[in-house]
Structure 1
Amino acid sequence: MPRTSLDAVAVAAATARLSDVERTLPDGRQPVHTCYVPASAVTGDLVRDWGAQALAALDSHEDALTALLPAELAPVIRERVRAKLAAEPVEDLRIDFEDGYGAPGDDVEDADAERTAGVVAGWARDGVLPPYVGIRMKSFDTRALRERGIRTLDVFLTALGDPPPGFVLTFPKVTSAEQVEVFGEILDMFGIPLRFEIQVETTQSVVDPEGRLAIPRFVEAGRGRVSGLHFGTYDYTAGCGLGAAHQHLAHGACDFARNVMQVAAANAGIRVSDGSTNVLPVGDAVEEGWRTHYGLVRRSLAHGFYQGWDLHPAQLVTRYAAVHAFYLEGVEGDARRLKAYVDRAGGTVLDEPATAQALSSSFLRALECGALGEAEVLRVTGLGVGDLRGLASRG
């Protein structure tokens, strides 16, 4: 028994007031995008139509897509994007009753809320529901908006009945913890467990009037209900006073806000999502729209934002192309590092357990979005899905 200098009783007394560090990881699959569609445009054929429009855009402009891709990977990426668009074009759908919808009048919004709830129920009944689906209601900015948003939520949920798995609400333009608290109280009145995403699209959502970071207080006010933080590009940049020409995702003002989101959500079981680009790939601007969207998605992925908004069916092409290229380009290097960690084989890079956790999570995301298949991952890493999940969930 070696000699020690510290008194065990004194050490125990000094450390008694400390608690174990808790790290909570998000549950389940993270979608690569959220597709926002105005409630007035939502029909039972929406998901199929978006997939068909995306495939048609790919067929018409395949050379434009190929020019964006790494040459050696272009054929396999195009093939896998086609397969994804045919099988599961939309991973997360938000039926929008806010900015993209407007204020058509109470009778019209009531009817759209009831009708779209029936659409979602029909998808669930027919087994064609996207993995995630929900609504974005109006904000709590004013009394009129609050009342209208709560009524829409009430009409929709009453018509829907029990929400299907993967159902999520989006709470826009949050400016105070009190708004989050009240929204949680409203949700409690429905008597069913409902989680929601907070949209970070105001300056008050990042730094409060007293100069404190606001998001941690929002999360605390949510009492475990907050499942995600979604960035709103254009409201936020406008709120910062940026001119129209500088309102885009790659602006430094957006990087600051998203980094605050990222830090606030880390180890709290909350996912972060990037925002959108309004440069749409339509008409004669398909190539420009794809080039802009592809570049922004790749930039977001490199910064650790694995989800973003898509506003048009043709954006699905570059969303999946960028995501698949990101994972395929890194697969061999990531696999070597993960195998070396598991085998304790050494090498030129000595990774920490947290890095192995991140590498495993990356492979799981690649599997979930269709960039890689299980046989491929097993071949390059020697690990099955269960092994990856074990490493990814290790605290």
Structure 2
Amino acid sequence: MGRLDPGLLPELDALLAPVDRELSRRYPGDAGDRQPVHTVYVPADRVHAGLVPEWGAAARRALERAPALPYPAGLHARVTAKLAREPIEDLRIDFEDGYGIRADDEEDAAVEAAAKALVGAEVVPPFVGIRVKSMEAHTRRRSVRTLDGFLDVLLNAGLPEHFVITLPKVSDPAQVAAFETVCGRLESAYGIPAERLRFEIQIETPPAILGADGTATVARMITAAAGRCTGLHYGTYDYSAACGIGAAYQSMEHPAADHAKAVMQVAAAGTGVRLSDGSTNILPVGTDAEVADAWALHARLVRRSLERGFYQGWDLHPAQLPTRYAATYAFFRDGAAAARDRLAAYLDRRDTGILDEPATARALAGFLLRGLRCGALDQDELGDFTADRLAAL
């Protein structure tokens, strides 16, 4: 049938084989495993073995001010249970801005103490890691020294399963490539399996978004990480300040922030590298009115990030945990019934007035799976859509 030379098809396969391999390598898609809904940053000198229970207790005390908490009815019990069971999903022990510049002997002592606190922790979050200083000239040596010293203590007890390093203030792909080399050398020195050390890149400088040559630097950074990059984290205040935005107007929802995050999103799409929004520095402390205003702001910003495809963000204070979980749970619960019914209709090939395509079906399955894994949804609310089935879809 037809007049086309059948020899053309093998010719096309041979012609496009390099492209096929490169696309498969660069864009493997999301792994489908759990992503934490937040990262809690705690200065290294404030880390101790009882940190997680302490944060959970403080968050529950804050939740007692529930009349001011902006969440739908029915979420109180779910949020309270989460704060008792797993108040922190992802902990980052911070040796960068939250810790500051200290004398070497002081930071060395803090490195040892923080690592020992993690080893002896009453509760270790499912995700945990360390933020070192940047690969910029004035902090580079201290960054490597801190990471080396931390691993030296931590590895006596074994590396946590979901351990990750945060590399801040990255402006050039060469800094990422250099840090990738550091990770490889540390693996060799400590006998860690190859490519076990992974890191996330913080996008906090304008050159990380748009390079001097006019290219999207962040896409080149993912390549430079040679498979070690797990995430891109937006740094609200460093980026805003570098763009010349006044302190009163620095925000996760400033147009400059939205532009940077849109570039990050496109660069990471399909690569398996995940996204995290930044933080708000308006903390829920003070009078009842001040707490209510801060909660309302935080809840709105969390919801806004979720709607834009940023399923993770930073939290800086225990009293932000109630609104983190309330806003996240409300987001998934608001959309769960419609997503479940649309996915079922698509699989059953039923006409519902919405013409969903395979890509949309994958998005619906991903939405439900995220809601299930973060605790917003229960299995009995999803019927036959188990976690395994949703992951397969």
Alpha-carbon distance in 1 for matches of 2:333, 2:12? 50
Alpha-carbon distance in 1 for matches of 2:161, 2:30? 15
Specify which of 62, 67, 72 is matched with residue 63 of structure 1.
67
* Aligned residue runs from structure 1 range 121-160, under 5 A: 121-123=119-121, 128-142=123-137, 144-160=138-154
Give the match's secondary structure for 2:341.
helix
Alpha-carbon distance in 2 for matches of 1:217, 1:196? 15
Deviations 1:341-388 (A, max 9, x none): 12111211111111111111111111111111112122xxx3222211
Would the aligned equivalents of 2:38 and 2:90 in 1 still touch at CA under 8 Å?
A: yes
In structure 1, give the amino acid aligned to 2:51. Answer: L
Alpha-carbon distance in 2 for matches of 1:56, 1:295? 21
TM-score, length-scaled by structure 2: 0.93
Could you say what the CA RMSD is over the residues aligned between the two structures, in angstroms? 1.2
* Aligned residue runs from structure 1 range 191-340, under 5 A: 191=187, 192=192, 193-284=196-287, 285-340=290-345
Alpha-carbon distance in 2 for matches of 1:80, 1:25? 31
Alpha-carbon shift at residue 133 of structure 1 (Å): 0.4
Alpha-carbon shift at residue 115 of structure 1 (Å): 1.1
Deviations 1:4-57 (A, max 9, x none): 132221343245321434242333210000000000110111110111011000
Identity across aligned pairs (percent)? 51
Deviations 1:270-319 (A, max 9, x none): 10000000000011221111011011001001101000000000000100
Alpha-carbon distance in 1 for matches of 2:88, 2:326? 14
In structure 2, give the amino acid aligned to 1:41. Answer: R
Which runs of 5 or more residues in structure 1 are unaligned?
Answer: none
In structure 1, give the amino acid aligned to 2:391. Answer: R
Residue 44 of structure 1 aligns with which residue?
A: 49
Deviations 1:316-341 (A, max 9, x none): 01000000000111111111101111
Alpha-carbon distance in 2 for matches of 1:244, 1:5? 68
Alpha-carbon distance in 1 for matches of 2:198, 2:117? 21
Runs (4+) of structure 1 exceeding 4 A deviation are: none
Residue 101 of structure 1 aligns with which residue?
A: 99
Residue 349 of structure 2 aligns with which residue?
A: 344
Would the aligned equivalents of 2:48 and 2:118 in 1 still touch at CA under 8 Å?
A: no
In structure 1, give the amino acid aligned to 2:255. Answer: G
For the pair 1:385 / 2:387, whether they are aligned, the reply is yes
Which runs of 5 or more residues in structure 2 are unaligned?
Answer: none
Alpha-carbon distance in 2 for matches of 1:234, 1:332? 37
Alpha-carbon shift at residue 104 of structure 1 (Å): 2.5
Residue 24 of structure 1 aligns with which residue?
A: 28
Give the match's secondary structure for 1:37.
strand
